[in-house]
Structure 1
Amino acid sequence: MTFSVQTRTVAGVTLIDSTLVRTALEFARAHLDAMSFNHIHRSWIFGAIIASKLPAFAKIDMEVHAVSAILHDLAWDYTSVFSSQDKRFEVDGAHAARDFLQHEAPHYDHRRLQLVWDSIALHTTPSIAQHKEPEVALCCMGIMAEFFGPAFPGGLITKDEYNAVIQELPSLDFKEGVKKFMCGLCIHKPETTYDTFMRDFGERFVEGYPASAGNTVDLLMNPIDH
C-alpha cells in the first residue's frame, strides 16, 4: 500500500507538510522572534533544496529533518525559557525539541528522537555532523547554507534559489541578530562558549570576555598531581 505525503510549496521548494511539522512551526513561532523564525524556516528550505539535488538524501526521513531545522535555535537567546545556565545552547535546544516530540509525537521511537537530538546538538559542528546519519548531516548543511548562500560549496544553492527564499522570508537584519544572540551567550553563559565558535564572538565583541579561563592548552598541559 502506498501512502501519499502531504506537501506545500514555499519559494518554489516542495516541503513536507505533516501535522507535526505544522505544530513545530507554531511552537517555534511562539518561542522565537521574527528574525529567528525566518532563519529557522529558511534553514529548513535550504536543506530541502540540497536534499533534492544529492542522491545521498533521497530516502531520508524528511519529517525528522524538518522538525530538527525548525526547532534548532530554541535556546540561542539566553533569555529563552529553554536556556539553562550551564549547557551549550545547542544542547538546550536539543533537549527542548526532544521534550516537544515526546509530548506532540508519542509515536516517535527512540531512533527518531535521537536523530532530532543529534541534528540540533551538532548543527554548529559540521566536522562531526557530516559523518553522522543523513538527517543529521542535512540539517547542518541547510543551516550552513543559510549563512553561505550561493557561496555554499558545490554550487548547491543558486542565486535565484537563494533570492527566492529571502524574498519569501526576509533576513530582518539577520547578521546583527546572530551577533546579538552569540554575544549574549558569551556575556551571560561564558563557560558554555569556550570550546565553541561562540568564543570568536566573545573575543572580538565582548569586553572582558574571560576566554583565557577556558584555555584548553592550559588545562591539558598543566602538571597533574597524582
Structure 2
Amino acid sequence: MYTTIADIKIPDSKLALGAAELLREHGDELLWNHSHRVYLFGALQGKQANMKYDPELLYISALFHDLGLTKHYSSPDKRFEVDGANAARSYLQQNGVPDESSRLVWDAIALHTTIGVAQYKESEVALIYSGVGYDVMGENFEALTEEVRNQVTIAYPRNNFKNRILPAFLEGFKHKPETTFGNIKADVCGLLLPGFKPTNFCDCVLHSPWQE
C-alpha cells in the first residue's frame, strides 16, 4: 500500500483500512487500481479547486463505488450503484459512523454515474463523480499534468483499462439489464449484450394504462 501519491495521502484509519480489505476480498485487481485512481483523481481535482472535503469519506466512497458489480454485493433487482451504496452505508453504520456521513457516502456512490446532477452536490459526491469521469472517460483531462497522471498510474496501473472495464461493467449487471433503463450503462448492454433491447421512455409514456 502506498501512503502518499502526488502529494495526496491515502487514508489509513481503521475505517479506511477495513474498507480496503473488503475491496481486496470481493473485488479484483481491475477494481482495486481503478478505485484508488478514482480517489486520487478526485482528491487532486478537489485540491486544485480548493474544495473542502473529508478524505476518509472520499476514500471509502471510492473503494465501494464499484463493489455493487461484484457477486458478493450484487442484488437481483437494483442498480449496481445502489448496491454499492447500500453496502457502504451498512459498513459505516456497523462501525458507528454518523448518519450524515453515511448519507454523503451513499449519495457519492449511488450518483457516480448520474451525469448532470452529482457534480452539483456536496464535495465528496462531486469529487467521486469527477474522479470517475477522469479515470473512465478522461473528462477534464488537461486539468492535471502528465507528471501527476504518471505518478497515479505508476502506483495504480491502468493495465489496458479501456478494453477491460466495459466487459467488467456488463458482468456486474448482465443478469439484470433492466436496471440500466434511464442511465448510461444501457450503452454497455447495447454494445456487449446480444439481443438487448433498451426500454424506451417514450414508449412508456405512450403505452401507459391511462385511457385518453
- With normalisation by structure 2, the TM-score equals 0.91
Decide which of 118, 123, 127 is 2:116's aligned counterpart: 127
Secondary structure of the 1:113 match is helix
CA contact (8 A) 1:145 1:157 kept: no
Q: Which moved more, 1:86-95 or 1:216-225?
A: 216-225
Contact 1:94 1:118 in 2 (8 A): yes
Gap runs ≥5 in structure 1: 1-6
Tell me, in whole angstroms, the C-alpha distance in 2 between the residues paired with 1:26 and 1:186.
23
Confirm or deny that 1:204 pairs with 2:195.
Answer: no
The reply on whether 1:144 has 2:144 as its aligned counterpart is no
Shift of 1:176: 2.7
Aligned to 1:218: 203
Is residue 74–residue 172 contact of structure 2 (8 Å, CA) maintained in 1?
A: no
C-alpha deviation, 1:155, in angstroms = 3.2
Rate the CA distance shift 1:71–1:40 in 2: closer, same or farther, 3 A. Answer: same
Aligned residues: 210
C-alpha contact 1:187 1:209 (8 A) present in aligned 2: no
1:26 partner amino acid: E
Tell me, yes or no, if structure 1 residue 73 matches structure 2 residue 66: yes
The correspondence of residues 169-180 of structure 1 with structure 2, limited to 5 A, is 169-180=156-167
Distance in 2 between the 1:51 and 1:8 partners?
19
1:1-226 equivalences under 5 Å are 8-55=3-50, 57=51, 59-77=52-70, 80-103=71-94, 105-106=95-96, 108-149=97-138, 152-153=139-140, 155-185=142-172, 187-211=174-198, 214-222=199-207, 224-226=209-211
Change (3 A) 1:21 1:185: closer
Asked if structure 1 preserves the Cα contact closer than 8 Å seen for 2:85 and 2:109, the reply is yes
CA distance in 2, matches of 1:197, 1:129: 14
C-alpha displacement of 1:182: 2.5
Residue identity over aligned pairs, in percent, reads 37
Long gaps (5+) in structure 2: none
8 Å CA contact retained: 1:101, 1:113: yes
Compared CA separation, residues 32 and 223, structure 1 to 2 (3 A): closer
